[in-house]
Structures are given as structure tokens and as C-alpha cells.
Structure 1
Amino acid sequence: MTALWLGIALLSLLAVAFVLVPVYQGRQIENDIQPDVDRRELNISIYQERLAELDAEQAAGNLDQDNYDSLKLELERNLLQDVDDTVASSGKPLHVTRQAIITAFLLAALIPAMGLAIYSEYGRSGDLAVAMNRPADPFDGRQPTVEEAVTALQERLNEEPENPEGWYLLANTFMSMQNYTAAADSYAQALKYLPEDAPQYAGVNGQYAQALFFANSGKMNLQIRSEVDKTLSIDPFDVTALGLLGIESYESEDYRAAMEFWRKALTNASVEQADSLKSGITSARDKLIAAGESVPDLPELAEVKLELSVSLSAELQSRVTPDMAVFIFARPVGGRMPLAAKRVTVADLPIKVVLDDSLSMSPQAKLSAAETVEIVARISASGQPTPEPGDLSGTISPVAVHGQVDILELSIDHIVE
């Protein structure tokens, strides 16, 4: 804090100098003008004395009229020259009044006073003091317990409440501790400071609804329903919100509706979420079958995997080294974005690989969502998945995704041009 106040003092002195220095310079100029005025009066006095001497010489008969006129003209020229030099050096007279000096000093005093008043209103010296005095490692190098970490995060958020990332982290921690009420409060704080047009907003709002749901003993109420509807109005495929609607329908024994909510949620589900949703869909389907009801086809429950045996052609083995990267992936026929991918090295070849949804690149691009794909294995000299001339590659196309039971043989056998 000492450095802060020293900086404020120096800046205040600089501001005062901008006001007082011009006043001081004005006084100096005013003082310099007075000698110039005195010198002009002296030159006039000398001229008059010399002219009187010339008159006396002429009266005594020592100067004729021509010489008198000539010397008098010379005196006049010298006088005019001296006067011109004095005026040019002095310029316009400058007079610094007492009122101007008083005004300048008042302004000089007002500038730091106003600065301190504004800083006291809008400044954050208290936050700065807390930040500067906070120990670099409050745990002295040891691994904190969960409770200590939560306490430290709460203290930080008390100092910096406008931190949606911090509130979100705290909420997730409370969820893992099954403190659902505290988690809901933290999610609410995160949403308070997170812009509604942020891409994460719908997901966080869905998790807020989930925390409220668990805090209410797994029962839906008007507030939770409102938050679910708000989430789905932003993102109709939000996994958490759809999952909650599925749970509500399942608990109400509306198994068909539960199954449809969970099937829709699979669109954006991660691998872990998908496993849980598929388990729920299976349970809802079994309930319908046990009740003697018909069920629709559920391709989502079919296990989708492609088993490969990848090898390198003997003719190309001299062109590679054991540490070179090998990218093995399935993508839509003619497409570019992989639906499932795995990275190994040349040293691993030959290798058996299973491509499935657990290796998907994103929830929106899954292997199970495709009907046919092409499978590619590429050895990259640069270590990058983008193909470059000189890479080695092998392809199988087209390959049916569903119902595939054979082990596919994939040979890396040609050079990328």
C-alpha cells in the first residue's frame, strides 16, 4: 500500500506543478521586462544630453550647419535603433495579478483534494490491500482438504463476488459433496454474473435446476419446472434438463415419455452421460414390455463398435521410425471430421483397435449416429493429423456401422501425394 500512496502523492505533485509552474514563469517574465523599460528611458536621456551638447557646440561656432545636421541625424538613428531593440526584446507587457496567483494556488490545492475524494468513492484500495496481504500459499505447500479448499474459495469469492467461474467451481464442488442446497445457491450466483448470451448459460442453468431438484428430495416443483423450461428455451437438447424431465416422467410411471426425453438427451450427451441415459432408456423399455405394451425400435441401445487390425505394408517400413504418430479414425464417407479416433505410434504396429462412441470427437458427432463410414490409418511425419505429402496412409470404404461383427483388416500401403 505504501507504493500506492507514494504513486498518488507523486501524481498529485505533478498535477500541482502544471498549475503553479506557469504562474512562476509569468512572474519571472514580468520581472525581466522592468530592466528593459529602464534602459529605454536611459537611452532617451543620453540622446537629450548629446543633443544639448551639439546645440552648445553650434552656438559656440565650433560646428557649421551641415555637420550639426549630420551629427543630429546620427543621434536620432541610434536612439530609434535602441528603442526598437528594447521593444522587440520585451514584447507585450505581462502582468500577473494577485488574484491570478491566489486562483492558481486554490486550483493547486483543489486538484489533489478532488482526486482523493473521487478515489475514496470509486477506488478499491481495500481490495488491493487484501490482495497484496494475501499469503502466496495459505496451505504452506501441503495438500489442502476439500473443506479447506472450499473455505479458501468462499473467502476469495467474498472479496471478488463478480466471478462466475469461481461460483461455478464452488457449485460443482458442493454437488460432489452432495450439499445440494449450497450447490444451488452457488449456481444462482454464477448465473447472476454470467451473461445470458454466453454459450455456457443454458448448461449452467440446467445444472442449477438439477441442484434444486436434488435439494428438493428428487421432486419437481414450480421453481424447478420454470428453470428447466428456461434452459430448454435456450438449448432444446440440454442433457441435464431433459434428464430431469425423464426422471420426473419415470417416477410418474410415464415410461414412454421418460424414454423419449432420454433419447433426445443422447444427442448432446458425453460418453458418461450416454451410459447413464441408455441405462434409463433400457429400464423404461423393460417396464413397458412388462406391462404388455409395444416399444419402438431403439437403435441407440445397440452396441456400436468397429474392430480393426491395423498393419504397415512391408514395402513402406523403411520410410518410418518407431516414434512416428499413427492416426486411426472413422469418418463419414467423403467427410473430414472424424467420428471416432485413436492415436498410436509406429512402434505399436501391428495393432488391434476398437472404434466406438467412447472415442468420439464431440457429443454431436458420434460413430453410432452414422450409417456408413470410411476408416483411415495415417502415419504422419509431422505428428499432425492433417494429411501432408509424404505421409503414409491406408483406407477402407465404405464400412457399415451397425451390425458390424467382422474384424476389419486395414493396411497402410500407399504414400500421400
Structure 2
Amino acid sequence: MTTFWILAAGLAGLAVLFAVTPLLLASLKPAQDPATASQADTDQAQLNLEIFRQQLAELDVDLSAGKLDQTVYEAARRDLERELLQDLGDRDPLTTVASQPSDHRTRRLPGPAVTALSLLLAIPVLAWAVYGLIGNQALIPQLEQVAASGGAGQARGQNELPPLDELVARLEQRLEQQPDDAEGWMMLGRTYFATGDRERAQSALARAYELDPNDALIVMAYAESIATNNDNQLEGRPAELISEALELEPDNPTARWLAGMVAFQRGQFRSAATTWRNLLEKMEPESEDAAELRTLISEAEQRAGLPEEARAPRVAQAAIPSDAADTADTAGASDEAPAPEGPPTGVNPAEQQDADAASASAEGNELNQTRAAGKTAGIQVQVALSPELSGRLPPNTPVFIYAKAAAGPPMPLAVQRATLGDLPLQIRLDDSMAMMPSMQLSSFPEIIVGARVSPSGQAMASPGDLQGETGPVSSDTADAVSVHIDQVRR
């Protein structure tokens, strides 16, 4: 409000300045000297008299020459005499003053200074009166509120994301008005995941699946929520849902990749390798995803007992960029998985089924025995956020803490989930978090421990994530391993 009145006063002052300046300049001109004025009037009278004489002489010449008769001559002479008398009377100060009424001799028009003073007062008063008639003072506080909210929105935009709680409230309010919006329910479910509310996430995604079971993205998101709330197990309903997603989109690369992962978890290694080989043919050979997939194929074929010459070329872990490994650093914590595809060409289906079943049974028994025996070899991990990165994201942003083999499959050996507000914190990663006995912390002599802050709430790494990793450390170290989150993923 104060700013408005200051601007209004400034504009009124500017208008007064334009109107008053010429009048003030006129009032500053020096007055004419009376003697000078009298001399000027005398000179003008002599000039008029000389002109009269010349015109009268011309009339006399015309009369003598016979160009004019006596009557016209007399009329023209009287006109000249009348004009001369009038000019001489106007120029005579004494005659002029004497001929004017007495009140006219004392009355004068307002001077420039008086007019300027009048405008100085009149313009602001008139402006105020006009604004009072057609203006709207109630708009001023509203405009100030809009400006303030705009500044807050800009400051929040610099932090890249609004608070997740605000997003949840917006989505919930919108879905109250549009309860049949399947995409809205899916967005709400994923937002619940980002806030760590897994049960409500599953309920929201179940509603989305109920509204639109023919959307592959919704089907896969629903499968992910079930697996997350079931100790990250992809067997059962999640696998069935991913099979439905594959029927809807047979060429979906994520679904096909996860189909191989389900087969791998079941111990059906040849089926997993076949699924991944088919997917590898459609990838760019030099891409990071292709390098990771070749590693998984080689691991699956090795576990299936295929001879060395029949296996896919294995990519050394040291040659895989760290970003490629990041794409699977939380595969055990989330993501969907359809049912596996059939056995590779040239293999008897019955033999393959028996071999896969036996392998899966052995894997499952070993895992159950390990968990029942309480074998929980692991390490302590201390996670902290760099001060330079603090304040960028809301406290409820998910943080994934993981361990993976320093040389081996890029899949995580153990994963824990926390939030940014929990940092700094100390947790334990151990063998009880393994999804299969052969992928335990104690199965590898050296591991890499990392932590990743995910603004999107997704398990898959993406640009904008905050991350940090250690170098190779011993998997049986008794000392706590420190992870410092000090990088922004590009």
C-alpha cells in the first residue's frame, strides 16, 4: 500500500511540473519600462501619419489624372482620416486611460505565478477525487499478496521441487473431485511411495488398476507396490501382473528385463538368460544397459551350468561405468517382474523344467536354512549428507542405502530405505536382506557401499539424484563404513 501511494504522489508531482513550468518561466520575464513603451508608441504614431500622407498624395494624383471623380475621392479621404484617428487614439496612453471606465483601470488578469500556484493545488486534488470515484483500493492488498506468493513460488522453483506433502494434498483433493481418474490414482500411489507410505501407495495403485487394468504402466506400478510390501518378493501376484503387462506391451523393455529377473529369482537361470538375450538384441551394443545385461546373462548361464564357450561374453565389472551399476542398485527394493519366458531353443522343455525346478528348490532351501540359522553376517554403514547439498530437497525424500559386489553382478546384495530427514544415520546391511543365498554380502570378498537420494522416489537412478559411494571394502570388516553423499547425478 505504501509503495502505491508513493508512486501515485510521484506521478501527480510530475504532472504538476509539466503544467507549472511554462507559467513560472513566463513570470520570470522582466517587465517593460514605461519610458520605452511611450517612445515605441510615439514612433508608431509617426509611422502611421507618414503612411496616411503617402496614401492621401496618391488619391490627389488619381483625382488630378481623372482616375477618380470628386465623390469617390471625398469618400476615400474620409476613410483614411478615420483610420488615422483610430490608430492615433489607440496609441495615446492618456486617451486610452481616459476612455476606460474607472473600474477597468484597477482590474488586472491573474499573473503566471498565481496560475501556477492554483494548478499546483488543483491537480493533486482532482487526481485524488477522480481515483476515489473510479478507482478500487481493495485491489492493492490483493496485488501485494500475488506478488508475495509469486516470490515464494520462484524461491521454491529454485529448490526444483515442492514439498511432497503438498503434492499429496493436491492429488488427494483432485481425486475427491475426480474419483475415476486412473492416472491420478497412479500418480498418488507413486507419491505415497516417495513419502515412504507403502501401504497407502498399494491401496492407491490398486484403485488405479481397478479403474484401468489395460494400462501397462498402471499394471506394473501395482505389481511394484505388492512386491515392496511383501519383502520385495516378485513371486506370486507381482509376477502375474507383469505377465499381464507383457500381454499389453510385449516389447516393453522394462517388463522383459524384469521377466528375466523373476526367472533368475526362481532359479530358472536358462530361462532368465534366454529372456535377457532376446532383450539384448534390441539394445544399442555399446550402451550401459547392454553392458549390464551382458553381465547378468553371463551370471545366469554360469549358474545354469552352460559350458564356457556357450556363454555370453562377460563384461568385467571394472569396465562397467558406475552409472550403469546404479540402474540396478535398488532392484531388490522395487520394480515389477512378469512371469519368465520359455526355455532356450534346442533344449528339451521337460528337461529344462526339471532342471529349473531342482535348481529353484535347492536355492530356496539354502536361503531358508540360512535365514533360520540366523546367519546375518554384515557391516555397519554410516551415511551423511554433504553440507553443500543440504536444504535442496524436502526431509521426506527417500534415501536408498545399498551394497553391491565390487567385482560381479551389479545387482544389490542388500538394500535399506530411509529418508533425507534421518541423515546422518547408522544402519546395518547383512545377509538377511539377500534375495538368494548366492547373492549375499558374505559371498563376495569385496563390496561397494553407496547411498542415493531420489527426489522422484523411484528405485531406478535418474538425473538429479544425490549420491555417494565408497571404494571397494572388505565384506567382513568390523569397522563402520562411511558413505558421504556429495555428488549430483548428471
Common fold by TM > 0.5: no
Question: What is the TM-score of this pair, normalised by structure 2?
Answer: 0.28
Larger Rg: 2
